[in-house]
């Protein structure tokens, strides 16, 4: 995270320490001239924060308790955050390992063991 992104995150979560802070491969138009800005996802003890820094910064916070149906879609390579609140960007492109870290932080890792 750069200095501006850290400042946006600190203003949003205060003194709470984010457990994972991951940059997704999803990029949005945040007012930069020639390129799009990456979306970040940060998970604290109670909230998940999605943010992007630019001339038009984007910040959205949702409670972890409302993210109970979140999952990773292997077909598209995206973390899908399903919540009862309306999210502008609910699908974040990222590697499966990173998505698993986010899902683990919000308590959504349900690995079922099968018998062979």
Break the chain into its structural domains and give their ranges.
3-105
Q: Which two tokens stand for residue 12?
A: 């949003």
Name the CATH architecture for the domain at 3-105.
Roll (2.30)
Q: Which two tokens stand for residue 84?
A: 């009862």
Q: Contact 66/83 with Cβ under 8 angstroms?
A: yes
Q: How many CA atoms lie within 13 A of 1 on its CB side?
A: 20
Task: Please tell me the pTM assigned to this model.
Answer: 0.82
Bridge pairing between strands 78-80 and 58-63: unpaired
Query: What would the pLDDT profile of 40-91 be if each residue is shown by its tens digit?
Result: 999 998 899 999 988 888 899 999 989 888 999 999 999 999 988 888 899 9
Query: What would the pLDDT profile of 20-30 be if each residue is shown by its tens digit?
Result: 899 999 998 88
Q: Which two tokens stand for residue 106?
A: 């919000």
Q: Which two tokens stand for residue 97?
A: 């390992």
Rounded to an integer, what distance in angstroms lies between the CA atom of residue 5 and that of residue 94? Answer: 19
């Amino acid at each position: 995270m750069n200095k501006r992104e850290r400042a946006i995150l600190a203003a949003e979560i205060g003194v709470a320490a984010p457990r994972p802070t991951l940059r997704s491969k999803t990029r949005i138009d945040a007012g930069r001239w020639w390129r799009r800005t990456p979306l970040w996802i940060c998970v604290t003890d109670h909230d998940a924060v999605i943010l992007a820094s630019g001339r038009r910064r984007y910040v959205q916070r949702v409670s972890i308790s409302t993210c109970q149906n979140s999952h990773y879609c292997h077909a598209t390579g995206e973390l899908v955050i399903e919540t009862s609140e309306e999210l502008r960007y609910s699908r974040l492109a990222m590697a499966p390992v990173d998505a698993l870290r986010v899902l683990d932080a919000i308590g959504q890792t349900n690995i079922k063991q099968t018998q062979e």
